[in-house]
C-alpha cells in the first residue's frame, strides 16, 4: 500500500503465528480459528522473505494449495522457515512440501483422490510428536482435499495419523517441532479442528492468548497519535457502513477537529442514503460530515463500461480525485488557523478480508477474487506512494466480526454496528452491465423494498447482508393483460462471520414470493425476480454479484 508505516503493527505487541499462503481459498480460515482462540495471526504470501520482517513469529503455518509439489512452478517458501527455530505446521499442500523438501521422492499422486470427510486414526508414539493431537481421542472425522499425497516417510519423521487412503495423514519430525497434516483443520466439518490449531499455537508454539479488542484499541489510538502527529489533518471516506463508521469514530476521538469526514455522493447510493448517514453520524456520534455531490462525474466516467473490474477501478480512481480536491479546499480554508497543518492522510475502513481478496496468485499464492475498492481498486498513485495523500487504515488487521467488537469498545450504538455492509462502489457493482441513472434508480427501488420487508419480518439481524442486484439482460413477462420486456432483479442474502465465506439465507417460500410480487408490481422496468442460492466458495464475494448462479424464486407471467 501507500506507506508501510500506516499498517497497524499488532505483532509488535502480541505473539503472532504467521500463516504463509500457498494458494488455498481457505487459508484465511486458519487465521479466523486462531484469532477465535485469542491468538493473533497474520497471513503473508509464501514468497515472503523472513529476514525482511521487522518481527519474529512464534510459529509458522504453511497453508494448503491447489498445486503439486512436483510441478516446476509450484509455490515454495523461504528456507529460513525451517531455520528460524520456531514450530512449523504444514496443512495439506504444506504437509507435502515439508516431506518433499526432505525427500523429493516422498510425494506422488495417489491411486485415489480423497475429497470430503474421512475417518482418521491417531497414533500415539510418545514424546513431543503427541502434542499436536493431545486430548483428542483415537479417531477423528476430518476433511481432505488432495490427489497427491506423502507416499513414504522422509528420514527423521514419524507417522502420527493415518486414513484408509493416506498412510501418512499426519507426520512429525522426531526431534524438531515440525508437523504436517494432510487434512484441513480450518474447515468447520473437521472434528476438533480448532483444538488441533490450539494445541499447535498455545502448547507447541507457546503463544499467549491475549488478542482482545480492548488491548488493540488503546494500542491503535497511541499509534495513530504518533503517526499523524500534532498538526497534520486527515480526511476520511465515510459511507455509513460499519467499517467506515468505526474508523471515523476512532479518528474523531484521537485527533478531534483535525479529522474531516467526507461522504461522496456518487449517485450510486441506496435510497435516501446520504441524508440518513449525515443525520446519524452527526446526531449519534458527533462527527461533522461533509457531503460532496460527484454523481455526474461518476456517471460520465462509467458510461459504456460493462466489465466489473474496470468499473471498480474507475470508481476507485474517481473517489481519489474528488478526495484530493477536498484536501486542497480544506487546506485553503485552514490557512489562517494557527494549529492546522496540511491534509496528509486519507482514512479508509479497509479490513483484512479486503486485503486477502485483492491478493494475486503471483504476488501472493491465493487466487485473486477481485480488486477491492479499498485495496487493488485504488489508483496506482495511491498504491505506490506518489499521491498527494497517504493511506491510513486502522482496521486493516481486523475481520468484520472483530470490527464490530472494536466498535462496541468505542461505544457505537448496536444499530450502527449491526448494519449490513455496503460496498464503496455502491450500486455501480450491483448492476451487471453498463451503469446508467435509469438502472441505478430501478435497483435502488428494488433494494429498498427487499431490505424493508426483511426488517418488517424481524429477521434483519439474522441476515449478515442482503441486497438487490440488476441483470441488464431482459426477460419477457406479462403484467395485467400486457406483455412486458424488463430487467431481471437478483436478490441475494447471506449469513457470514467474516465475509470471507458465506451461506445463502433460507427465507420461507412465502416471504420470497411476497418480495418478488412487490418488486414486480411496484418497480417499473423489472419483469422477473430470482434468488441467488450460491454459497461462497465457490461463488464470488457476497457484496459483488458478478458471478451469480441464480435460482428463480418467482416468475411473473
Burial class (CB in 10 A: 0-12, 13-18, 19+), 510: exposed
DSSP 460: G
DSSP 72: T
Report residue 443 CA to chain centroid gap. 25
81 C-beta neighbours (distance < 10 Å), count: 23
CB–CB of 545/490 below 8 Å?
yes
226 C-beta neighbours (distance < 10 Å), count: 9
Burial class (CB in 10 A: 0-12, 13-18, 19+), 124: exposed
Beta bridge pairs of residue 392:
347
- State yes or no: is 186 an active-site residue: yes
116 C-beta neighbours (distance < 10 Å), count: 10
Q: Which three cell numbers stand for residue 33?
A: 480459528
337 annotated among ligand-binding-site residues: no
107 annotated among ligand-binding-site residues: no
Question: In terms of DSSP H, where are the helices of 268-307?
Answer: 273-284, 295-302
> In what order do the strands lie in the sheet containing 88-91?
40-45, 16-21, 59-62, 88-91, 178-181, 170-173, 157-162, 107-122, 139-150
What values do phi and psi take at 525, rounded to 5? 110, -15
How far is CA 449 from each of CA 444, 484, 512, 553, rounded to the nearest angstrom?
9, 21, 12, 16
63 C-beta neighbours (distance < 10 Å), count: 30
CB–CB of 483/474 below 8 Å?
no
How far is CA 492 from each of CA 209, 484, 501, 506, 534, rounded to the nearest angstrom?
37, 24, 14, 11, 9
CB–CB of 180/146 below 8 Å?
no
CB–CB of 265/292 below 8 Å?
yes
Residue of 11, 28, 42, 92 marked catalytic: 92
- Rg over alpha carbons for the chain, rounded to the nearest Å, is 25
367 C-beta neighbours (distance < 10 Å), count: 14
241 annotated among ligand-binding-site residues: yes
Q: Which three cell numbers stand for residue 164?
A: 484408509
Residue of 28, 146, 173, 184 marked catalytic: 184
242 annotated among ligand-binding-site residues: yes
530 annotated among ligand-binding-site residues: no
Question: In terms of DSSP H, where are the helices of 126-259?
Answer: 193-198, 213-228, 242-255
Q: Which three cell numbers stand for residue 110?
A: 495417489
Residue of 42, 186, 273, 393 marked catalytic: 186
Q: Which three cell numbers stand for residue 398?
A: 481486523
CB–CB of 512/526 below 8 Å?
no
206 C-beta neighbours (distance < 10 Å), count: 12
Q: Which three cell numbers stand for residue 380?
A: 496506482
Three state DSSP letters for 29-69 = HHHHHHHHCCCEEEEEECCCCHHHCCCCCCEEEECCCCCCC
CA distance 425 to 299: 12
- State yes or no: is 184 an active-site residue: yes
Torsion from C-alpha of 325, 327, 331, 337, nearest 10 degrees: 140
Which residues are annotated as part of the binding site for ATP? 239-245
Query: Active-site residue numbers?
Result: 92, 184, 186
Amino acid at each position: 500500500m501507500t506507506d508501510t508505516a500506516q499498517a497497524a503493527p499488532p505483532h509488535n505487541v502480541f505473539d503472532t503465528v504467521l500463516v504463509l499462503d500457498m494458494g488455498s481459498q481457505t487459508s484465511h480460515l486458519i487465521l479466523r480459528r486462531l484469532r477465535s482462540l485469542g491468538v493473533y495471526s497474520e497471513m503473508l504470501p509464501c514468497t515472503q522473505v523472513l529476514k525482511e520482517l521487522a518481527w519474529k513469529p512464534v510459529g509458522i503455518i504453511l497453508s494448503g494449495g491447489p498445486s503439486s509439489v512436483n510441478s516446476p512452478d509450484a509455490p515454495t517458501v523461504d528456507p529460513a522457515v525451517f531455520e528460524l527455530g520456531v514450530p512449523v505446521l504444514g496443512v495439506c499442500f504444506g504437509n507435502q512440501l515439508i516431506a518433499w523438501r526432505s525427500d523429493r521422492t516422498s510425494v506422488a499422486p495417489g491411486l485415489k483422490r480423497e475429497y470430503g470427510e474421512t475417518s482418521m486414526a491417531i497414533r500415539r508414539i510418545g514424546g513431543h510428536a503427541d502434542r499436536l493431537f493431545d486430548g483428542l481421542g483415537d479417531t477423528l472425522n476430518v476433511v481432505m482435499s488432495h490427489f497427491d499425497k506423502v507416499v513414504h516417510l522422509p528420514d527423521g519423521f514419524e507417522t502420527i495419523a493415518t486414513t484408509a487412503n493416506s498412510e501418512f495423514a499426519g507426520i512429525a519430525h522426531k526431534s524438531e517441532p515440525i508437523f504436517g497434516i494432510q487434512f484441513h483443520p480450518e474447515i468447520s466439518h473437521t472434528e476438533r479442528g480448532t483444538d488441533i490449531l490450539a494445541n499447535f499455537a498455545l502448547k507447541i508454539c507457546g503463544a499467549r492468548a491475549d488478542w482482545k479488542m480492548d488491548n488493540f484499541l488503546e494500542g491503535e489510538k497511541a499509534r495513530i497519535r504518533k503517526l499523524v502527529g500534532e498538526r497534520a489533518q486527515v480526511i476520511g471516506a465515510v459511507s455509513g457502513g460499519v467499517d467506515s463508521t468505526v474508523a471515523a469514530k476512532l479518528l474523531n476521538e484521537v485527533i478531534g477537529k483535525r479529522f474531516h469526514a467526507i461522504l461522496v455522493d456518487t449517485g450510486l447510493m441506496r435510497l435516501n442514503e446520504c441524508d440518513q448517514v449525515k443525520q446519524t453520524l452527526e446526531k449519534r456520534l458527533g462527527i461533522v460530515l461533509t457531503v460532496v455531490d460527484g454523481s455526474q462525474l461518476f456517471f460520465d466516467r462509467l458510461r459504456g463500461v460493462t466489465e466489473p473490474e474496470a468499473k471498480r477501478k474507475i470508481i476507485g480512481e474517481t473517489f481519489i480525485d474528488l478526495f484530493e480536491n477536498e484536501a486542497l479546499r480544506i487546506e485553503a480554508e485552514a490557512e489562517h488557523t494557527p494549529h492546522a497543518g496540511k491534509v496528509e492522510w486519507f482514512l479508509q475502513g479497509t479490513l483484512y478480508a479486503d486485503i486477502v481478496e485483492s491478493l494475486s496468485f503471483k504476488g501472493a499464492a491465493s487466487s485473486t477474487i477481485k480488486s477491492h475498492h479499498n485495496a487493488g481498486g485504488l489508483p496506482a498513485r495511491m498504491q505506490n506512494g506518489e499521491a498527494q495523500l497517504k493511506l491510513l487504515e486502522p482496521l486493516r488487521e481486523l475481520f468484520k466480526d472483530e470490527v464490530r467488537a472494536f466498535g462496541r469498545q468505542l461505544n457505537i450504538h448496536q444499530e450502527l454496528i449491526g448494519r449490513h455492509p455496503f460496498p464503496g462502489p455502491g450500486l455501480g457493482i450491483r448492476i451487471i452491465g453498463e451503469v446508467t441513472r435509469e438502472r441505478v434508480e430501478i435497483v435502488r427501488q428494488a433494494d429498498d423494498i427487499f431490505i424493508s420487508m426483511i426488517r418488517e419480518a424481524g429477521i434483519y439481524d439474522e441476515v449478515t447482508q442482503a441486497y438487490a442486484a440488476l441483470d441488464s439482460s431482459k426477460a419477457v413477462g406479462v403484467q395485467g393483460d400486457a406483455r412486458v420486456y424488463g430487467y431481471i432483479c437478483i436478490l441475494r442474502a447471506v449469513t457470514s462471520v467474516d465475509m470471507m465465506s458465506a451461506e445463502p439465507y433460507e427465507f420461507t417460500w412465502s416471504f420470497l414470493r411476497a418480495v418478488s410480487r412487490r418488486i414486480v408490481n411496484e418497480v417499473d422496468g423489472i419483469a422477473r425476480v430470482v434468488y441467488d442460492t450460491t454459497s461462497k466458495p465457490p461463488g464470488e464475494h457476497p457484496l459483488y454479484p458478478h458471478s451469480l448462479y441464480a435460482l428463480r424464486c418467482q416468475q411473473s407471467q
